[in-house]
Amino acid sequence: NERLKKLCTDLEEKHEASELQIKQQSTSYRSQLQQKEVEISHLKARQIALQDQLLKLQSAAQSVSSGAGSVPATTASSSFGYGVSHHASAFHDDDMDFGDIISSQQEINRLSNEVSRLESEVGHWRHIAQTSKAQGSNSSDQDEICKLQNIIKELKQNRSQEIDDHQHEMSVLQNAHQQKLTEITRRHREELTDYEERIEELENLLQQGGSGVAVTDHSKIHEMQKIIQVLQTEKVESTKKIEELEDKIEDISKKLSSAENDRDVLRKEKERLSVENRQMMEECESLKLECSKLQPYAMKHGDTVTEEKTILPQSTSVEEQVFRLQQALS
């Protein structure tokens, strides 16, 4: 019983430790998910603000190009306005050097293309690095979940095997004790019966001898009386032994009933642990689903960060182009 209780306590401690570890990891995953959602919302807000600022800069550039005089100009840009191509026709009543305008415009276009190429290359490598990092983190989390599942499965198998072994050992011991007690009780009852038969025979002999017994037979009678006393003493002792054996049988029966109750408790505990293990397996499956859902968020977050860092140089490039155009037109 002590071994079973100790084993059950160890299994409960291992189970509680694994359950605590799974709860901590689940809490960590949920907190990471909330942080990612907050970061995504912040990045979306910043993206909207930057797009508004970019639209204002584009409208300012168009107003500057349209208010410069009778110079028809067309401005073509992408979704974030990387380059500005300016086509100018003849200038009337203006002393501006047309060659300087063309060279300035060519320099602007060349620099814009160079900046765009470098930004796209940086964004490409950043996206690859973030994707690799997200995939590595996700794979490590899944490996950890698989390890925990294997540990839980191994603990469950070990617990079931040990409970079955202890139940089998208990049944064998119960049968052996029962057979031994039955054999001892039967042997003592047979000896007691033999003693009673011998006592009856001796008493019958004494009664049959009666007054016809000679004086010379007094010694034999005295000896037979001693034998009777010895047999009666042995009978009393055998009776006491039988009573002690019956008490032992009763104690062992109580212990057997207590062991059966412990076995029922262990069976119920086994069923409860099986239910909890199924719940933990379901929770692990849900954690897997959450991890698989986190991967697109992480990739989307990486793309958003790349776009945000790409927009900032673009707005700076547009401001520089507007400033250069103003200088060229002044």
Whether 108 has a pLDDT exceeding 70, the answer reads no
Highest average pLDDT, of 116-130, 172-186, 284-298, comes from: 172-186
pTM of the model: 0.28
pLDDT tens sequence across 155-208? 778 777 877 777 777 778 777 777 877 787 788 778 777 777 777 777 777 777
Q: What pLDDT sits at residue 304?
A: 63
pLDDT 10s digits, 209-251: 654 444 445 666 677 777 777 777 877 887 788 788 888 878 8
pLDDT for residue 263 is more than 70: yes
Q: How confident is the model at residue 74 (pLDDT cuts 50, 70, 90)?
A: very low
Number of CB atoms found within 10 A of residue 302's CB: 19
Strand, coil or helix: 95: coil
What does the alpha-carbon distance between residue 322 and residue 65 come to, in Å, rounded to a whole number?
9
Percentages (nearest 5) of helix, strand, coil residues in the chain: 90, 0, 10
221 contacts: CB under 8 Å, gap ≥ 6: 206, 209, 213
Instruction: Give the percent of the chain with pLDDT over 70.
Output: 55
Q: Over the Cα atoms of the chain, what is R_g? A: 50
List phi, psi (to 5°) of 75. -115, 120
The mean pLDDT of the chain is 67
User: Which residue range forms the structural domain that includes residue 277?
Assistant: 2-329
Query: For residue 90, is it left (φ>0), alpha (ψ between -120 and 50) or beta?
Result: beta
Let me know: does 306 contact 127? Beta carbons within 8 Å: yes
The more confident residue out of 330 and 293 is 293
Mean pLDDT of 35-61: 71
First to last CA, the chain: 100
Average of pLDDT values for 80-84? Answer: 38
Query: Helix (H, G, I), strand (E, B), or coil: what is residue 84?
Result: coil
Closest CA to 101 of 58, 69, 78, 55: 69
Count of structural domains, the chain: 1
